[in-house]
Chains A and B, each alone.
Chain A
Amino acid sequence: GDSVTQMEGPVTLSEEAFLTINCTYTATGYPSLFWYVQYPGEGLQLLLKATKADDKGSNKGFEATYRKETTSFHLEKGSVQVSDSAVYFCALQRTGGFKTIFGAGTRLFVKA
């Protein structure tokens, strides 16, 4: 079945460091891929998405590229801020009414 695998956390970085959170997936066909972020005490919110191979999603300085050949969708940010501290979830969604499948989440701590 479909699945999403994320790197385990927590990830601890200093402010202005480079961030990479790895995500790989297994799915039939060509799913859409998403990154969601969850801040303390809140629900998840969409960070960025990509709907086909080689698409790059970007938002708030975060980027991720849909790599079909490696079935990956790694999240990157060039310079993290303390306010980026949160839990990040990679997710996939197949067309045709299938449920959205989430990875386990990666907690990020950014130190000032």
Chain B
Amino acid sequence: KAGVTQTPRYLIKTRGQQVTLSCSPISGHRSVSWYQQTPGQGLQFLFEYFSETQRNKGNFPGRFSGRQFSNSRSEMNVSTLELGDSALYLCASSLSWDKDNSPLHFGNGTRLTVT
């Protein structure tokens, strides 16, 4: 069974631009979560989607948004990029939103560098 796939693996953008990251979950998984990982802040939760609806949201500004499609694939968008948005963005899928002990399965991430 294929794992969680994130594209692209690396991205370099300029301040003020916007970016879209993509995530394909494991087949059969309907919940997708996004995390931002930085050396200083560790893993910060962005948001979680299940059945095309946002179920949980972290403490990030409105520049960060996401969506989920009917096939469970998800995208996240960051508008008006800032230098501080440079990070590894991780996507994780799980069987259901009300996970009841269903663990997260992570992709290898998208490394975003903002210059």
Known: A46-B103, A46-B105. A102 touches B42 (CB 8 A): yes
Distance A98 CA – B33 CA, assembled complex (angstroms)? 11
**Do B90 and A43 touch across chains, with their CB atoms under 8 A apart?**
yes
Known: A99-B48, A105-B43. A43 touches B107 (CB 8 A): yes
Say how far A13's CB is from chain B's closest CB, in angstroms.
Answer: 22
Residues of B within 8 A of A49 (CB): 101, 103
Contact bitstring B45-56, A, C-beta under 8 A = 1, else 0:
100100000011
Residues of A within 8 A of B4 (CB): 43
In chain B, positions 26-47 with a C-beta closer than 8 Å to chain A are 33, 35, 42-43, 45
Residues of A within 8 A of B45 (CB): 99-101
In chain A, positions 81-112 with a C-beta closer than 8 Å to chain B are 89, 93, 95-105
**Do B33 and A95 touch across chains, with their CB atoms under 8 A apart?**
no
Say how far A46's CB is from chain B's closest CB, in angstroms.
Answer: 5
Distance A36 CA – B94 CA, assembled complex (angstroms)? 14
Q: A residues near B, CB below 8 A?
A: 32, 34, 36, 41-46, 49, 51, 89, 93, 95-105
Known: A32-B101, A95-B100. A44 touches B48 (CB 8 A): no
Say how far A90's CB is from chain B's closest CB, in angstroms.
Answer: 11
**Do A43 and B109 touch across chains, with their CB atoms under 8 A apart?**
yes
Q: B residues near A, CB below 8 A?
A: 4, 6, 33, 35, 42-43, 45, 48, 55-56, 58, 90, 92, 97-101, 103-109
Chain A, residue nearest B39 (CB): A105
Say how far B115's CB is from chain A's closest CB, in angstroms.
Answer: 21
Instruction: Please tell me which one of the listed residues B33, B108, B109 contacts residue A99 in the complex, with CB atoms under 8 A apart.
Output: B33
Say how far A9's CB is from chain B's closest CB, in angstroms.
Answer: 12
**Do A104 and B42 touch across chains, with their CB atoms under 8 A apart?**
yes
In addition to A43-B109, A97-B99, A99-B48, 9 A-B residue pairs with Cβ atoms within 8 Å of each other are A43-B6, A93-B101, A95-B100, A97-B98, A100-B45, A100-B99, A100-B104, A102-B35, A102-B42
Residues of B within 8 A of A105 (CB): 42-43
Distance A101 CA – B107 CA, assembled complex (angstroms)? 17
Q: Can you list the 9 inter-chain pairs with the closest CB atoms, starting with the nearest? A: A43-B106, A102-B43, A32-B101, A104-B42, A97-B98, A44-B106, A99-B56, A46-B103, A51-B101
